[in-house]
Amino acid sequence: MAMIDHRSTVVSIVIIVLVFVSVIAESLRFDLTSGHTKCIAEDIKSNSMTVGKYHIVNPNEGQTLPESHNLTVRVTSTYGNSYHYADHVNSGEFAFQAAEAGDYMVCFWAVDHTPQVTISIDFDWRTGVAAKDWTNVAKKGSVDSMEFELKKLQEMITSIHEEMFYLREREEEMQKLNKSTNSTMGWLSFLSLCVCLSVAGLQFWHLKNFFQKKKLI
């Protein structure tokens, strides 16, 4: 009975993880008007793998895309480093290992056209565990379905563990920044108080001398 409960628990966890992975790996479709730009950002840990695919949805299936349906795509890191650039394309893909942690941005610019046209773009962006090609892993490893799912579960747990450490590091950085800011504000407040007291003292001294010269006191 306990063995059955253990297996059912494992299966339940695997199902939850699979649902989670399917959600974070879901592709995005959006519309973009010619001459306009749309950017999508994602917070990525350093040394994490990320892959992306994009293509313009053909409004007339079975026919070639109109000349007006072209994109310029750029992927940049939080420090402005470029990881992918494509000009006047209707589809493409990118893959890289993040060398720096932070927000990575994918910007799509629809080529200017008169009259304006609206194009639909399918974009699939995966990072971390979702970026791995599990189909090839299963084929190369020749593993059964349960072992395959457990391997994915292990990768997911490792990814969550790394994410927790990453968030903890970010929290420590924010705490250090807050302490530094509070310390700086404390010194500025003290300096401001000293300046105010000095100005008040000078004003009092000036008024006292003025009234003494006028023999009012």
Q: What is the pLDDT of residue 136?
A: 54
Rounded Cα–Cα distance for residues 175 and 144 (Å): 46
User: What's the CATH code of the domain at 126?
Assistant: 2.60.120.380
Residue 145 dihedral angles phi and psi, to the nearest 5°: -60, -40
pTM here is 0.54
> What Rg value do the Cα atoms of the chain yield, rounded?
30
Judge whether 95 lies within some domain. yes
Are residues 49 and 122 located together in one domain of the fold?
Answer: yes
Cα–Cα dist 128/48, whole Å: 5
Residues of the chain short of pLDDT 70, as ranges, are 1-26, 129-151, 216-217
Find residue 52's DSSP bridge partners. 94, 125
Domain of 89? Answer: 2-132
pLDDT attached to residue 116: 87
What pLDDT is stored for residue 132 in this prediction? 64
Residue 151 resides in a domain: yes
* Burial status of residue 44 (CB atoms within 10 A of its CB: 0-12, 13-18, 19 or more): buried
Other Cβ atoms closer than 10 A to 156: 20
* Same structural domain, 118 and 12: yes
Domain count, the chain: 2
What's the confidence (pLDDT) of residue 72? 93
Residue 140 per-residue DSSP state: H
User: Do 6 and 12 contact (CB within 8 A), yes or no?
Assistant: no
Residues contacting residue 65 through CB under 8 Å, at least 6 positions apart: 56, 58, 90
What pLDDT sits at residue 26?
52
Task: Using CB atoms within 10 Å of the CB of residue 55, give its burial: 0 to 12 exposed, 13 to 18 middle, 19+ buried.
Answer: middle
Last residue of a domain, one of 87, 105, 132: 132
Q: Does a structural domain hold residue 33?
A: yes
Does residue 212 share a domain with residue 161? yes
Same domain, 41 and 66: yes
The per-residue pLDDT for 6 is 44
What pLDDT, on the 0 to 100 scale, is given for residue 8?
Answer: 46
Question: Are both 41 and 118 inside the same structural domain?
Answer: yes
Instruction: Indicate whether 184 and 113 sit together in one domain.
Output: no
What pLDDT was estimated at residue 148? 61
17: in domain = yes
- Classify residue 118: in a domain, yes or no: yes
Task: Look at residue 100 in the predicted model and tell me its pLDDT.
Answer: 87
CA distance 4 to 10: 10
Residues 115 and 199 in one domain: no
Clarify whether residues 101 and 121 are in a common domain. Answer: yes
Give the C-alpha separation, 40 to 121, whole Å: 13
Output the pLDDT for position 135. Answer: 53
154 and 202, same structural domain? yes
Is the link from the previous residue into 66 a cis peptide, with omega within 30 of 0? Answer: no
Predicted pLDDT at 155: 76
Residue 114 domain-assigned? yes
